[in-house]
Structures are given as C-alpha cells and as structure tokens.
Amino acid sequence: MKRRTILAFMLDRPGVLNKVSMLIRKKMYNVDTLTVCSSRIQGISRMTITLEEDDQRKVEQIIRQLEKFTEVISVKELHKDNSYWREVAIVKLEVDAAHLESFQGRYNFEILDRKSEDIHILQVAGSTRHIDGFLDEIGREYIVEIARTGVSAMEK
C-alpha cells in the first residue's frame, strides 16, 4: 500500500474535526495519523492526514468530499518528492547506557531523562522510516512505552 498525505486548512471551529473523522469513517478509510495545529493565520487550523491507499481515485474522492465542507478553505495531496514528512516519538527504553550510546551518531535522538541506570526516556525525530529503523535496530523488546506524534508535512 502507498502512503498518502493530505493537507487541509480549515476554520478553527468546534465540530470540524468530528465532521472530517466522520467522513473518513463513513468511507471506511484507515487513517494512519491525524495531526492538527494552528496555522500562521488566527482562526485557521492546519490538518495533516496520512493513510495507506493505492487507488488514486479514492484519494481524489476524499479531497473532493473535504472541499465540500463549508469550513474547509483548501485541501490537497502532498507528494513525497515535493514535501517534507516528519514526526517525533518519545520512547521509554529499558536498556543500558552503553547500548544506547552506540546509536548516538546514526540517529537523531535526545535523551530527555534517565530514570535509572537502565531506564531512559528519549525523543527521536525524523521520517517515519527513520524512527521505525531506530526502534527496530535498538530492539523492540527494550521498549517500555512509546508515544508518537503522527506525521507533520509541509511543501518544499
């Protein structure tokens, strides 16, 4: 399946997120991530939706249906070649410091806290593939807890 990212700008009003999520649920699309934040214009929110979908027609259908909402100002698909896709993960690991230090140069992470000799809380930033690679390489068996932001995307 191909990962798709849809960027929408909409009025910052109660119920808009619910309308969008109901549309996606009704059409039975499986959303990977959904991130919403303020835009640089007061009263306008920025929503990034990522989903796995091979059929371009389905993606275009979602965009057309989102454009019908009166609260939506603009919506479009972002392509990997013309945009940046990033996310952040906060990870609690039960791993010794020496094992962790061996990853320092290869991955973009920051140690936020050391709870004990073997419990570390990290922030890992980058592409989804980068974060997944870090988690796989360090060993998923060492993960105590993880929180991920979801994808944020911006055109180049």
pLDDT digit string (tens) for the chain, length 156 residues: 899 999 999 999 999 988 988 888 887 788 889 999 999 999 999 999 999 889 999 899 999 999 999 999 999 999 999 999 999 999 999 998 888 888 888 888 999 999 988 999 999 999 999 999 999 999 999 999 999 999 999 999
User: What's the pLDDT score for residue 30?
Assistant: 81
Question: Residue for token digits 């991130």?
Answer: 35
Q: What is the pLDDT of residue 27?
A: 78
In angstroms, rounded to a whole number, what is the distance separating the alpha carbons of residues 96 and 89? 20
Calculate ∠ Cα 5-35-37, nearest 5°. Answer: 120
Residue 24: CB atoms within 10 Å: 19
From the list 26, 8, 21, the residue with the least C-alpha distance to 71 is 8
Spell out the domains of the chain, with CATH numbers in brackets: 3-78 (3.30.70.260), 84-155 (3.30.70.1150)
- DSSP H or E segment with residue 90: strand 83-94
Non-local (6+) Cβ contacts of 142 within 8 A are 93, 94, 95, 99
pLDDT at res. 124:
96
Q: Which of 39, 42, 59, 20 is nearest to 154 (CA)?
A: 39
Q: Which helix (H) or strand (E) holds 101?
A: helix 97-101
CA 58 → CA 30, 44, 51, distances in Å? 12, 26, 11
**Closest among 85, 72, 87 to 23, alpha carbons compared:** 72
Would you say how long the chain is, in residues? 156
